[in-house]
Amino acid sequence: MKDRLRILTVEDEPAVTHMLALLLGGPGAKITNACDGWMALMKIGAAAEPFDVIITDHRMPRMNGLDLVRRLRVRQFTGKIIVLSAYLTKENIQAYEELEVDMMLAKPFDVGELQLAMDLLTKKPSAPFTAPLAAPAVNG
């Protein structure tokens, strides 16, 4: 079993890149960043091991998220793909659905939703939650 989740974030806004690294990084994950789709393809090609998850913005210079996902599908990328963008028009959503991305989240995004999406897509067990079956009896 692999010890760390390999995540590639593809984002042209440094503040969002930094926030994603803070949210998703840690001992269980290795985060790699790319500033656009073109750089992402370079890093994917140079990676010693394939990425488990790619989180991409849509609107970026040189190569947008849609073109990146198209090229990933041609390369038969087997990991999970999350699109995180403020520019999810009906046309973009339909195009991403046709390319079978795993999840789309609109910016500004909810941190909890992103974490839940990551947990679901990577089959990470969520924290156990047990509700008491009955209130304990109070001896008065």
Contact 82, 102 (CB under 8 A): yes
Angle between helices 65-74 and 90-98 (to 10 degrees): 10
Torsion of CA 52, 48, 2, 33, to 10 degrees: -40
Residue 134 main-chain phi, psi, to 5 deg: -150, 150
Does the predicted model carry a pTM greater than 0.85? no
pLDDT tens series, the chain, 140 aa:
456 899 999 999 999 999 999 888 888 899 999 999 999 999 999 999 999 999 999 999 999 999 999 999 999 999 999 999 998 899 999 999 999 999 999 988 888 888 888 888 887 654 444 444 554 555 55
5-121 to CATH, choices 3.30.70.2190, 3.40.50.970, 3.40.50.300, 3.40.50.2300? 3.40.50.2300
